[in-house]
Structure 1
Amino acid sequence: MNLKLKEVLETEKTILQNLYSLYLHDLSKFTTLLDIGEQGNFEYEEIDDFWELDGLTPYFILLDKDIIGFMLLLERPFLKKDYDFGINDLFILNKYKGQGLGRKAIQELFKVKKGKYFVIELIENSPAVSFWKNVYSDLNIQYTEKQDVVDDEQCLIQTFTIK
């Protein structure tokens, strides 16, 4: 099995929108701020920004040739201050969860994107918090963590450097 990241092309936006709806559905379990839209899906209204703003880069996570998830990477010039990168969203389809594929996708990213990172999780999203703490442990990453309110939600923010 070959896992890789592939930058999402604007022509593939509909696929990413569909995956985002699934991601937001999963996330809605941990927040009251996400609701289903009029069309019966969870809408990510800022998706066009990914191709209009420099520094927002969506990636499909591919297993062999199949899309099994996505990741949204924030980087400069979108990020202005202390960090080189932020992993904003990470999603693996349920069928593939628990197989270490999310961690492998993160490892693939770290091979080519070195620098200072931040990751934000909703405090209530215990699966995400557990996932990231396991990634840090498995990859021997030293991180710092704080709690803060982000977009009206209590969140954990971890920062670390990949060399």
Structure 2
Amino acid sequence: MPISLVPILESEKTILRNLYSLYLHDLSKFSSMIDLGIDGSFKYESLDKFWDIDGISPYFIKLEGSIIGFILLLERPFLTEENDLVINDFFIINKYKGKGVAAQAAAKLFEAKQGQYFVIQVIENKRAVSFWRNLYIELNININEKQELIDGEQCLIQTFKI
């Protein structure tokens, strides 16, 4: 199954907004900070700024040309810390979870963007923690890992160089 990462155009932000609502719905199980909006959807308030700020890069994950998820990558000049790249958000629709497409998407990203990475998961999100740990093993990536309390949520933070 050929996976591609395609930069999301500002004209496609409605599609991304819809995917973010699904993503935030999934995350709401693990975070007390995520609530349903009065209109019945989950909103990512900063989404409209993605195309205005250098270093915020949203990508659709496509399988044979169809959108199946997204990655929000933060990079320089947006980042000023020691990390070059942050995978801020990573989402695959349920139909494709557990089929290896997320690992393929991450590998594609690492091929295209090399540097010092920062990835974070809420510890209660066992599926995400397991995904990232298995990916590091599969791709032979050496990581530094620590736990930290962020916005009241116990999180796992990994840093690594590609």
TM-score (norm 1): 0.97
Question: How far did residue 112 of structure 1 move?
Answer: 1.2
Instruction: Provide the residue aligned with 1:90 in structure 2.
Output: 90
Distance 1:35 1:112 in 2: 34
Cα-Cα RMSD: 0.8
Instruction: Provide the residue aligned with 1:2 in structure 2.
Output: 2
Query: How many matched pairs?
Result: 162
Offset from partner CA, 1:74-105 (integer Å, 9 cap, x none):
10011002011000110000000110000000
TM-score (norm 2): 0.98
Letter in 2 for 1:140: N
Question: How far did residue 153 of structure 1 move?
Answer: 2.0
Offset from partner CA, 1:9-39 (integer Å, 9 cap, x none):
0000000000000000000111111111011
* Residue 62 in structure 1 maps to residue 82 in structure 2: no
Q: Secondary structure at the match of 1:88?
A: strand
Q: Secondary structure at the match of 2:24?
A: helix
Unaligned runs of 5+ in 1: none
Unaligned runs of 5+ in 2: none
Instruction: Provide the residue aligned with 2:79 in structure 1.
Output: 79
Deviant stretches of 4+, over 3 Å: none
- Aligned-residue sequence identity (percent) comes to 60
